[in-house]
Amino acid sequence: MMALPSLATLTVGAQTYHYYPLTALPGLSPERLAQLPFVMRVFLEGVTRHVAQGRAEPQDLVHLIAWQPQAEQRPSMPFFPGRVVMQDFTGVPVLNDLAGMRAAVARLGGDPASVNPRVPVDLVIDHSVQVDYYGSPDAFRLNAEKEFERNRERYEFLHWCQRAFKNLRIVPPASGIVHQVNLEYLARGVLTAEGPNGLPLAYPDTLVGTDSHTTMINGLGVVGWGVGGIEAIAAMLGEPIEIVIPDVIGFRLSGHLPEGTTPTDLTLTIIQMLRQFGVVDKVVEFFGPGLDHLTLADRAMIANMAPESGATMLYFPVDTQTLDYLRFTGRPEDLVNLVEAYYQAQHLFRTAETPTPTYTAVLELDMSRVQPSLAGPRRPQDRVALSEVPANFRQALTAPRTANGFGIPEAEQETAVTVALDGQTATLRHGSVVIAAITSCTNTSNPFVMVAAGLLAKKAVERGLRTPPYVKTSLAPGSRVVIDYLAAAGLLKPLEALGFHLVGFGCTTCIGNAGPLPEPIVNAIKDNNLIAVAVLSGNRNFEGRISPHTRANYLASPPLVVAYALAGEIGRDLSREPLGYDPQGRPVYLREIWPSSQEVFETIQRAIRPELFIRDYADLYAANPLWNAIESKEEVLYAWDEGSTYLQPPPFYDPPETATWVADIHGARVLAVLGDSVTTDHISPAGSIPVHTPAGQYLIQRGVPPSEFNSYGSRRGNHEVMVRGTFANIRLKNLLVPGVEGGFTRHFPDGEQMTIYEAAMRYQSEGVPLLILAGKEYGTGSSRDWAAKGTRLLGVRAVIAESFERIHRANLAGMGVLPLQFLPGQNASSLGLSGEETYDLLGLAENLHPGGRVQVRARRADGSEVHFDVLLRLDTANEIRYYRQGGLLPAVLNALLGQEAAAGA
């Protein structure tokens, strides 16, 4: 039997700390420790600490120490994050679920105050601001006022939460984006807790977040990733997050970025490489000499886009760049010294001389080969070299919709429409850029690309260039520091001269809050079926996400966003053709006004100081007067308003009868047959709520005018809205209704076409369980657990897909929806499944274990049958335990009540 881990002491300055040294673990020689990837060493420390505290099993330690890079089967491990971060779109339903759990505990005779976070939780309100106003000095103020007007009820609820729950802090609106705030301020690198003998216990900063881009913090050497809200609740309440011990892919970087490229170009290149290689459920760890030439902000940008690659994390070990960034952002010197001393003592600190760990596989990129790039028109992994963008758009324009194109007939491809805008006329055509947005923590956290955008704008203004009137321009940084250093560098006014005024400190366009386009532009697009374009510095460009009126969306660096705003069209080759013309009619080329790297770095050194971060974060939790003016009562139980269309008690705490739930499923029908790369945006949209949809009609019936619909994302506290919005994306393609886009299906056996919600309710009234059939990468994109919650509330018992993205698979499991995977080489098409069959799922009870197989029997209308097996993707013992109890939330509730009963005895 393994001995319990031992404690050691570490003195930093005048303070002494306890810690659990990895070098003292039995069976872990220095040579073996050096072979383990850095991320595995962080996992090892966490399990070591929790074994010592009696919350993990010694066998978990044995499994981690024995990690082999090419193991075919891996056991699971517990992960106890040190803290949790959230944003308001995902955080409101989490806290609504916690409030609902308190009500359930009280209803069952327990103490509702026992439902309380046991680890620190920070929620940053960043997703609600929308770009209603732009292109003027008043845009920021007007958008902030509109945000409060729309979201007052939600904000009052959050204000109550920060008083009702311990260990919860709320960062008010207009403060920044959660991941950038986490990177620049919240993250500590090393956490401390009360230890034995009165000394603090030091351990690595770790976290989970209810946003898939939580991985941005991996750039700082912090282990953390995005989870669904239901997993976050479990972590808050002390439940471990159980994961299969991952493969770790090494990614070797060498060389330097060439002149004329940006860290954004590097990031898009890496994401494309990782998608092509296949890293779902894997961790990627970077190493090699190229790391010494990447700033921390560059690393954070790459790490941010881990979900776009499919990986659990894109991890950068702690090194001198980490320490420099902590100082650069104004962290206290004693904290920086602790980070350095602790990570060195634990063999977690990377240097140029550090031996290369052993990896499952190794990819390599010479950064000198990176080219200026965009990604689009629909997916972030579809990188396109700048010179190839026009051809890329033309190909998409021409390709039929069945081939994921836009299907514009050749005779209509040269359509040109003249529109009148504020006394000016403009011509719109296919490829016109109607949205140009500097947005998202991905890019606005990186001073290099932000300063480069400002310098490009400055040179463009000096040459007399202006943006066309039809381009909606916006600047929405992820922290207040960005505006301060752009102003200090003299670059804010040139950006404003091109229409890039500050519109808010929040996600805005990146998460679908681009706001309305002018009516003449919308009419021109609709009436002429124009394929309008958005160019944004975000991390996602899924169809239907950015705006209902931009069918093509391209990701780009901030300076390229400025460039395309000036060009006004995506079809121009900016690597060779003029960007525009000066007042004298002379051509101006992008290469002429593109700032050099030396210009950018000199500007950064002159304009950015740690004092900016210290000043702007000094009043983080009380910087918004509108927020401070909210009044809320300090009560344990939340008083829901029966008439509210924003917040209603969650319906997830009445679990099904267990024996029925784990029994075989008979007579199931298919609600939707979906293709590859179906995103959580497709499953549970976050943007506007159309009037004609079931969700829109629900709001109309309750007296909410369309002008006050707000968005799906803002109404995630009301399950009645969200279930009606599930599978309601305007670009969803359900193969049961070929040629139709949107949330429609056919009800069987009659074959009548109707909305997916209407069909699901009819099936429920008939007592018919439901299935979803899907292709590869099902559930890619955001961590939104409503994609799983809504699926469950529609009556879907299982999703059968060729492959799942990590977070959505876990969310389905947590909601008691079976994730089932076709065996290799099989899919709906190869098995001859149309989705019109009835289905039986057999052998559930006896195969309810990780790696189990479920038998499927599909019966056609003519009586013929198709038999096949599928893999049960409940991957861990905890997921099996949750499923048996009807889902994670009922299981956590049961655990809470069981603990109380034991304490009462």
Q: How confident is the model at residue 658 (pLDDT cuts 50, 70, 90)?
A: low
pLDDT of 902 strictly over 50 = no
| Cβ–Cβ < 8 Å for 130, 600 | no
Q: Hey, which residues does 83 pair with through a beta bridge? A: 207
Q: What pLDDT, on a 0 to 100 scale, did the predictor assign at position 659?
A: 65
Average pLDDT of the chain to the nearest whole number? 95
Which position has the token pair 């040109």? Answer: 416
DSSP conformation letters of 39-54: HHHHHHHHHHHHHHTT
What is d(CA 179, CA 86) in angstroms, rounded to the nearest whole number?
9
Q: What pLDDT, on a 0 to 100 scale, did the predictor assign at position 422?
A: 86
| Cβ–Cβ < 8 Å for 502, 603 | no
Q: How confident is the model at residue 905 (pLDDT cuts 50, 70, 90)?
A: very low
Return left, alpha or beta for 835; rule: phi > 0 is left, psi -120 to 50 is alpha, else beta: left
pLDDT of 308 strictly over 90 = yes
Pairing of strands 665-673, 838-842: antiparallel
**How many angstroms separate the Cα of 334 from the Cα of each of 338, 574, 637?**
6, 48, 41
**How many angstroms separate the Cα of 584 from the Cα of each of 49, 427, 579, 591?**
70, 22, 15, 19
What is d(CA 86, CA 177) in angstroms, rounded to the nearest whole number?
10
Q: Hey, which residues does 15 pair with through a beta bridge? A: 12
CA 383 to chain centre: 19
CA-CA-CA-CA dihedral for 304, 308, 310, 314, to nearest 10:
-20
Q: Average pLDDT for residues 861-880, to the nearest whole number?
A: 96
What is d(CA 338, CA 12) in angstroms, rounded to the nearest whole number?
6
Give the distance between the most distant pair of CA atoms in the chain: 88
> What percent of the chain is modeled with pLDDT above 70?
98
Q: What pLDDT, on a 0 to 100 scale, did the predictor assign at position 903?
A: 35
pLDDT of 633 strictly over 90 = no
What is d(CA 608, CA 493) in angstroms, rounded to the nearest whole number?
17
pLDDT of 768 strictly over 80 = yes
| Cβ–Cβ < 8 Å for 690, 699 | no
Query: Residue 645, SS3?
Result: coil
What is d(CA 859, CA 840) in angstroms, rounded to the nearest whole number?
8
Secondary structure string (H, E, C) spanning 869-882? EEEECCCCHHHHHH
Q: How confident is the model at residue 2 (pLDDT cuts 50, 70, 90)?
A: low
CB atoms within 10 A of CB 515: 22
**How many angstroms separate the Cα of 6 from the Cα of each of 41, 65, 205, 580?**
16, 16, 20, 68
Distance between the two ends of the chain, CA-based, in angstroms?
32
Alpha helices in 489-557 (DSSP H): 492-497, 519-528
**How many angstroms separate the Cα of 521 from the Cα of each of 394, 420, 435, 543?**
21, 9, 11, 19
**Residue 845 is which amino acid?**
A
> Which tokens in the block code for residue 557?
């660096």
User: Which tens digits make up the pLDDT trace of 55-76?
Assistant: 999 999 999 999 999 998 899 9
DSSP conformation letters of 455-489: HHHHHHHHTT----TT-EEEE--SBHHHHHHHHHT
Q: How many CA atoms lie within 13 A of 132 on its CB side?
A: 17
| Cβ–Cβ < 8 Å for 728, 756 | yes
> What percent of the chain is modeled with pLDDT above 90?
92
User: What are the chain's domains?
Assistant: 8-65 (no CATH), 83-369 (3.30.499.10), 377-402+419-616 (3.30.499.10), 658-684+726-886 (3.20.19.10), 685-725 (no CATH)
**Residue 361 is which amino acid?**
A
pLDDT of 796 strictly over 60 = yes
What is d(CA 395, CA 409) in angstroms, rounded to the nearest whole number?
12
What is d(CA 696, CA 699) in angstroms, rounded to the nearest whole number?
5
Which position has the token pair 């941010």? Answer: 304
Q: How confident is the model at residue 898 (pLDDT cuts 50, 70, 90)?
A: confident
Q: How confident is the model at residue 198 (pLDDT cuts 50, 70, 90)?
A: confident
